[in-house]
Amino acid sequence: MKEQIIANLTAKNDKFACAFADKIISESQETDTWYEYFFDFATLLKSPKSLVRNRALSILAVNAQWDEENRFDLVLPDFLAHITDEKPITARQCVKALALVGQAKPQYIPKILSALRDADLSKYKDSMRPLIKEDILETEGVLTGRMH
């Protein structure tokens, strides 16, 4: 089962893999059915494919609400590393996902805010840097109660 889930999320057919991830995300908003695979999803954060990393970030973020075992403690550093992912789209996905993580796990808010504020965005093109900065401000606003 677990191998099939990972195979589906990393399938060469991105449309299929994305639809499968969307199903997991949608179901995870209502139930903890997928939480048991938390660490399996976390392994995808290290995928060479940015689309796979994007899926993992979204799935982990939505499952943070079910994390009574504090599994997120073990994946938070890897998750935060994607704030400055090599792919700007993945960086943006991470920053947006962190709002969900912080809302579900308020104990992480100081670490998240610190990581967001310390993020070096200089490696991104001028066209992407303002978008990532805007996402960071928005997430900071959500987490501090000051909507941007």
Task: Return phi, psi of residue 65, to 5°.
Answer: -65, -20
Other beta carbons within 10 Å of 14? 13
Each residue's pLDDT tens digit, 6-48:
999 999 999 999 999 999 999 999 999 999 999 999 999 999 9
CA 49 vs. chain centroid, Å, equals 14
Q: What are the angstrom distances between the C-alpha of 146 and each of 61, 65, 137? A: 21, 22, 10
User: Where in the chain are the domains?
Assistant: 2-144
Residue type, 56: A
Tokens of 122: 């200089």
CATH of span 2-144 = 1.25.10.10
Q: If you average pLDDT over every residue of the chain, what do you get? A: 96
